[in-house]
Amino acid sequence: MRRLALIAAALVALLGLATACGGDDNAASDKTETTVPSGQTTGQPTSDPNVYTNPQLLAETSWLNTKLSDKTVVAVDLRKKESYDAGHIPGAVWYDAGKLKDPDEKLYVIRDTLFAQYVGDLGIDSTKTVVAYDDNAGLSSARFWWVLWYYGDSNAKVLNGGFPKWQKENLPVSKEAPAITKAAFKATINDKVVCALDYVKQKSSSPNPNVVILDVRSTAEYTGADVRSAKGGHVPTSVNLDWTRSMTDTDPKVWKSAAELRKQFEQAGVKPGSEVITYCQTGVRAAHSLFTLQLLGYAGTRNYDGSWAEWGNSKDTPIQQ
């Protein structure tokens, strides 16, 4: 139904009623739905705290099962190769999660030319909807989603519950590697979703209530009890919320409800409308929490990709314990 300038008032009212009753917050939707704008979300556009703002970022197993013959949907398996070979979602391609960091600059995201080659060889380009999955609570698949987003692809999704949920529901599994038609993936760097050491240092040394540095490591790492670099502790002014708290305690692990997630982020000091910088040890767990924040509609999220492996090994970086 189209809104026309010259339509009768009664019909306008009817249209308004129909619009108010419309909308679909089902995460299992396809590529025709609204996608996340490059670099930002709209930032809490929904007034209902019980609803994910960007549900299209999560793919449910039931939805993916209906898309197995859809050539525009590419499932990407981020598990170990032997696990993929033992059985995977039919039609899924395998990506080495170790190739999400650059082979020469190991602290940072894989460079654009290499990533474009790797995913292009898997048949991925801008016409495809990627659904990434793993067997570790979405850790590798959220990192893959973030790298795709960093390189300009906002159509990717993460499979909620991953392969463990797929198996538990007795959905089809295959050992056959699919035939792949290579594609040309164009990597366009989106520098709004990443930041470097100097940026974090500046934000840390000049506290701003609208900027939150979020440490998503364990409490032991945050306090310095668990030291994984030359120095232990955390970035000054950062707050701590372990990435695992985004997931349910029961297996297979899925994302918690929107209301639970919003509550725990806000209790940690992450308020809607804030710029949020996430970090961990290597930027992988940080990507998972960034994905969760995007799911909830938080705008201005950046992954400090060097994370504590860089900060904790730098001689001139301050720390707190």
User: How far apart are alpha carbons 219 and 42 in whole angstroms?
Assistant: 31
pLDDT for 47 equals 56
- Is residue 283 within 8 Å of residue 305, measured between CB atoms? yes
Helices 258-267, 284-296: inter-axial angle, 10-degree rounding: 120
Q: Give the per-residue pLDDT at 299.
A: 84
Residue from 56, 42, 48 nearest 262 by CA: 48
Q: Show Cβ contacts of residue 66 under 8 Å, excluding neighbours closer than 6 positions.
A: none
CATH topology of 55-190 equal to that of 192-311? yes
Domain 192-311 fold is Oxidized Rhodanese; domain 1 (3.40.250)
120 C-beta neighbours (distance < 10 Å), count: 16
**pLDDT tens, N- to C-terminus, the chain (321 residues):** 333 333 333 333 333 333 333 333 333 333 333 333 334 444 444 458 889 999 999 999 999 999 999 999 999 999 999 999 999 999 999 999 999 999 999 999 999 999 999 999 999 999 999 999 999 999 999 999 999 999 999 999 999 999 999 999 999 999 999 999 999 999 999 999 999 999 999 999 998 999 999 999 999 999 999 999 999 999 999 999 999 999 999 999 999 999 999 999 999 999 989 999 999 999 999 999 999 999 999 989 999 999 999 999 999 999 999
SS3 assignment, position 27:
coil
Say what the pLDDT of residue 22 is: 33
Domain spans of the chain, in order of start: 55-190, 192-311
Q: What is the pTM of this model?
A: 0.86
Report the 3 state secondary structure along 110-132. CCHHHHHHHHHCCCCCCCCEEEE
Name the phi and psi angles at 225, rounded to 5.
-70, -30
Q: Residue type at 2?
A: R
* Largest pairwise CA distance in the chain: 72
- Superfamily of the domain at 55-190: Rhodanese-like domain (3.40.250.10)
User: What is the Cα–Cα distance from 9 to 11, expressed in whole angstroms?
Assistant: 5
What are 77's strand-pairing partners? 94, 133
